[in-house]
């Protein structure tokens, strides 16, 4: 059976983009794959995290997975820092990846901003750790939103270079799984920016903790243009805000964008936004509620994370033994 690995950073403000682009897809994959889902706390600290918030946000990512329908009995749910293989393999990959490859990473450029000299070394080496997350389990398929595509290409480059340099076939070349009608959900305030945990405006995103009123308020305030909805997807070209809201509706309703337009062609946003609000409250609202319910019992979440860490460590152990042998590390 092929293995799936994916992760979400516990950096707070989990949002609808994380859900539609990634977490929702995790659920269905459990049918056909052995799945490993991680709260990547070591990635989170590449930018400053308050320690108490980090702990709580790590539990929150686990709770969000479960609330969305990931079954902790069937799939593995754990925190990255609790399985040492991630850090160990990341170091080896730091010695495989080239500076030139990392220099091309758009996420680093975006996150480091103008003041690159002041970015953490961890933020720069972030993609090596991500490759280690996946390859410590020899996972072959990785469900993510579109923004992670470049990192997965780098994961393939690292695997290939490792295999070539050491003349082995240790690592598989991973396949990204990017699917659904909303693989890149955009900010509700600006259709040219992706919805993100770090946007200073709370109105830019719908979060797992939003209740009906805040979902309604955020969608009411969401930026749009003045035209009615078009008849075809072609008509959404050049209308990023409209395209975004139609994509969100389609993903939540499990429809194609065209099917949504078939229903709403000619409608004004004053009609479409309330319909979208109802749908979001119906489909996304209960997941947030369940996440909050799970968060009320952190000891229960911790038990799941602990059991997940033990199962994950057992899967990573033979891979790490093989890698160390290949690299030439002696056995203690
Ligand atoms: P992170 O925490 O930024 O996001 C978690 C997942 O949500 C997706 N996503 C989105 N999808 C659609 N629209 C959006 N606006 C949007 N924003 C985020 C992301 O693509 C991601 O799938 N580097 C990863 C975490 C990671 C990882 C891994 C993923 C670490 N190791 C190994 C896969 C495999 C990240 O920062 O995700």
> What is the pTM for the complete model shown?
0.97
CA of 228 to the centre of ligand 1 (A): 32
Residues β-bridged to residue 142:
176
In tens, the pLDDT along 143-180 reads: 999 999 999 999 999 999 999 999 999 999 999 999 99
pLDDT at 198: 93
Cα 124 from Cα 119, distance rounded (Å): 8
pLDDT < 70: residue spans in the chain: 1
Among this protein's residues, is 197 annotated catalytic? Answer: yes
Pocket test for ligand 1, best of 86, 147, 150 (most atoms within 8 A of CB): 147
Residue matched to tokens 């990635």: 43
pLDDT at 331: 86
- Check pocket membership of 127 for ligand 1, CB cut-off 6 A: no
Catalytic residue flag (residue 324): no
Active site residue 194: yes
Nearest CA to ligand 1 atom 4: 8
Which pair of tokens denotes residue 254?
A: 């499990």
Q: Which of 211, 212, 207 is nearest to 197 (CA)?
A: 207
Name the residue at shortest CA distance from atom 7 of ligand 1.
Answer: 18
Measured distance CA(131)–CA(304) in Å, rounded: 24
Q: Is 37:10 a contact under the CB 8 Å cutoff?
A: no
Measured from the Cα of 182, ligand 1's closest atom is 12
Token pair 């993903």 in the structure block, residue? 251
- Structure confidence at residue 177 (pLDDT): 98
Dihedral angle over CA of 189, 66, 148, 209, nearest 10: 20
**What domains can be seen in the chain, in order of their start residue?**
3-182+298-327 (3.40.50.620), 202-293 (1.10.240.10)
Ligand 1 centroid–CA 82 distance in Å is 20
> Alpha-carbon dihedral of residues 294, 297, 303, 308, nearest 10 degrees?
20
């Amino acid at each position: 059976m092929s293995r799936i690995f994916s992760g979400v950073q516990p950096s707070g403000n989990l949002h609808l983009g994380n859900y539609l682009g990634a977490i929702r897809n995790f659920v269905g994959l459990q049918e056909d794959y052995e799945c490993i889902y991680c709260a990547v706390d070591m990635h989170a600290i590449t930018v400053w995290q308050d320690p108490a918030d980090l702990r709580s946000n790590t539990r929150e990512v686990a709770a969000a997975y479960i609330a969305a329908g990931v079954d902790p009995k069937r799939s593995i749910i754990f925190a990255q820092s609790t399985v040492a293989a991630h850090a160990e393999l990341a170091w080896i990959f730091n010695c495989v990846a080239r500076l030139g490859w990392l220099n091309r990473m758009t996420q680093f450029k975006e996150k480091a901003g103008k003041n690159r000299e002041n970015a953490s070394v961890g933020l720069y080496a972030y993609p090596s750790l991500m490759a280690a997350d996946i390859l410590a389990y020899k996972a072959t398929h990785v469900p993510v939103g579109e923004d992670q595509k470049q990192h997965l290409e780098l994961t393939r480059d690292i695997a290939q270079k490792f295999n070539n340099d050491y003349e082995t076939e240790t690592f598989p070349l991973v396949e990204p799984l990017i699917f659904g009608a909303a693989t890149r959900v955009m900010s509700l305030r600006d259709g040219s920016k992706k919805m993100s945990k770090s946007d200073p405006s709370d109105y830019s995103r719908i979060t797992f903790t939003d209740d009906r009123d805040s979902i309604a308020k955020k969608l009411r305030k969401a930026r749009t243009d003045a035209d009615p909805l078009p008849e075809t997807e072609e008509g959404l070209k050049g209308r990023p805000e409209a395209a975004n809201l139609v994509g969100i509706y389609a993903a939540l309703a499990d429809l194609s964008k065209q099917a949504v337009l078939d229903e709403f062609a000619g409608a004004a946003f004053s009609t479409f936004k309330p319909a979208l609000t109802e749908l979001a409250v119906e489909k996304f609202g209960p997941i947030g509620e369940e996440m909050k319910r799970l968060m009320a019992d952190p000891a229960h979440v911790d038990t799941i994370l602990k059991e997940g860490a033990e199962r994950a460590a057992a899967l990573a152990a033979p891979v790490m033994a093989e890698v160390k042998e290949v690299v030439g590390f002696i056995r203690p």
